[in-house]
Each structure stands twice: as structure tokens, then as C-alpha cells.
Amino acid sequence: MEQAQSISSKLTLVFLVLTGVYAQAVFSEEYKVDPGHSSAQFSAGHLGFSLLIGRFNKVEGTFSIDAKKPDTGKAAITIDAASIDSNHEKRDKHLRSPDFLNAKQFPKITFESTEFKGNRKGGTLKGKMTLKGVTRPVSFTIKQIGEGKDPWGGYRNGYRATGKIKRSDFGMKFSLPKVRDELVLEINIEGVRKK
């Protein structure tokens, strides 16, 4: 009888441990950015006449969400500086030059989060952006676009991040103040949950 109770207790303990591990796996979700459905956009004032809209076509990275502890959410994003696209070839060549991105010497623009305040639907994400070899703190407002199963058996989650930077903070002082210093950034991310 004692042996049966002992076996029962051990089985209960194993069940509780396995349940705890499973619950942890369910609540902590890791996503890999889908480059084909993600992009980084920017807008900048042009001589006070209009807004120039451009984008970076190559974006990759990861982000994580914990349903029980949303404040532990993290993101790491890498943008290919040479993938800039403002719909004007000559201008794009200039934007890749040392006057602006210096994409040859600094091919990657990176963002690494340091703090998140909010929940699964959105919030404020703070972190460090490295652009043209300079690292500065940046803050983004995050809004969830949607999530759910995709047609290929995966699970996807999408967010929009918006924020502002001053290009002069990253050593891009060309044509100031004629061309506005402040840039509005919008990063649209679609991630596939890792299995």
C-alpha cells in the first residue's frame, strides 16, 4: 500500500513538473520576422513643400511575447541600409552615401529593445538604435494589427511601431535646416511563431 502511494505521489510530482513546463512554453512565445511581409518606412520634410516617403525593403529580426508577463516582451530588428527605396534612383544613391546612411561602411541599422510597457495589444517599446555607427535611445508606440493561424499551418502575429528620431543625432547633418532634421519612422512587422 505504501509503495502504491509512493508511486502515486511521484507520478503526481512528475505531472505537476511537466504541466509547469508546458504552461511556461505556452505563455512564452518567440516569433521570427517574415521579411516578405515586413518593412520599415520613413517620412521627412522636403524644403517645407512636401513630405518625402521612403522605405527599407529588407527587414529581419525576432520578437517575444509572454502572456503572463507582457512587460518582458522583447524585440531585435535589423534593417539593410542599402535597401532604402524612395522611388528615385539618383536620390537613393545619395541616401546611401556618407552624407546620409553611409551604407557601405555601416550596412546594418539595428534596434534592440530594453523596456516594454503595455500588453499583447500594444504599448511603448524603448530601446537602442544603431544607425551610421551611432547608438541612441529610441521609443516606439506599438499597436497590434492582428494574429492567428495562417494557411500553411503556422501562427502569425503582426505589429506596427511608430516613433521619431533626429537624423543629426546619428551624424546626418547634410542640408540642415533646409531638409527637416526630424524623421518619422514606421516599422511594420509580421512574425511567425517558432515551434
> What does pTM read for this prediction?
0.82
Question: What pLDDT score does 177 carry?
Answer: 82
- Cell 512636401 appears where? 50
Torsion of CA 126, 179, 170, 131, to 10 degrees: 70
Which of 132, 119, 194 has its CA nearest to residue 159? Answer: 119
Residue 118 domain-assigned?
A: yes
Cβ burial 97-129 (10 Å sphere, 16+ → b, else e):
eeebbbbeebeebebebeebebeeeebebebeb
Residue 8 domain-assigned?
A: no
Dist CA 67 CA 65 (whole Å) = 6
- The burial of 93, by beta-carbon neighbours within 10 Å (0-12 exposed, 13-18 middle, 19 or more buried), is given as exposed
Helices (H), the chain: 2-27, 89-95
Residue 70 domain-assigned?
A: yes
The 3-class secondary structure across 83-138, one letter per residue, is HEECCCHHHHHHHCCCCCCCCCCCCEEEEEEEEEEEECCEEEEEEEEEECCEEEEE
Residue 21 domain-assigned?
A: no
Residue pair 182/166 in contact by the 8 Å Cβ criterion: yes
Residue 17 domain-assigned?
A: no
Residue 183 domain-assigned?
A: yes
Overall number of domains in the chain = 1
Question: What pLDDT score does 5 carry?
Answer: 54
Looking at residue 189, which CATH number applies to its domain?
2.40.128.110
Dist CA 109 CA 100 (whole Å) = 13
* Domain hosting residue 171, numbered range: 29-193
- Cell 520576422 appears where? 33
Q: What is the pLDDT along the chain (195 residues), one digit of tens a residue?
A: 555 555 555 544 444 444 444 444 456 799 999 999 999 999 987 776 778 899 999 999 999 999 889 889 999 999 999 999 999 999 999 999 999 999 999 999 999 999 999 999 999 999 999 999 999 999 999 999 999 999 999 999 999 999 999 999 999 999 888 888 999 999 999 999 998
Question: What pLDDT score does 9 carry?
Answer: 54
Residue 149 domain-assigned?
A: yes
Residue 15 domain-assigned?
A: no
Dist CA 28 CA 108 (whole Å) = 28
Residue pair 6/34 in contact by the 8 Å Cβ criterion: no
